Amino acid sequence: MVSFDRRYSGQITLSLERSDGGPPPAGVSLAPTNLSANRQTRLEANLSLGVATDTPPAEYALRLKVWSKDFTAYHPIGLTVISRSNPAPNLPLYSAGAGGVYKDGVALPLYGLNWFGLETCDRAPHGLWSGRSVTEILAQVRGYGFNALRLPVSPAV
């Protein structure tokens, strides 16, 4: 969804380009490419990016170019294309519903603990200052039988 506060009546053209103004990567397309604007209402439109299967895997810095006879505007878009030749492994399906968490449809018992620190002025899980790595600490937590970890955070900090 893209929206524009600009009040304008007439035809608006949309295009996709690299952030340096060059053409978009091969296989990447945008729809729609034309919109009709009415000065009385805010312009809102659902846009779709199409990515062909042969588009090279990479992170692309793109921008949406919006223009008419009276103005030109740009909106940045980040696009990450992953390789289809290396599909994701067949991972278990996890879901949450009334009464618990399920792995492949079977109830998964959760044994959890709180790891405080991210909500404090230190902004780091408590104990990392001790010189032990996160990997070591989590291995110990797992060794005690815990399979869930809650990291409290506070946006006020």
Task: State the pTM of this model.
Answer: 0.46
Among 66-75, 89-98, 102-111, 112-121, the least confident range: 89-98
Q: State residue 140 phi and psi, 5-degree precision.
A: -65, -45
How much is the mean pLDDT over the chain? 80
Contact indicator for 120, 157 with CB cutoff of 8 Å: yes
Please give the average per-residue pLDDT across 116-131, as a whole number.
Answer: 80
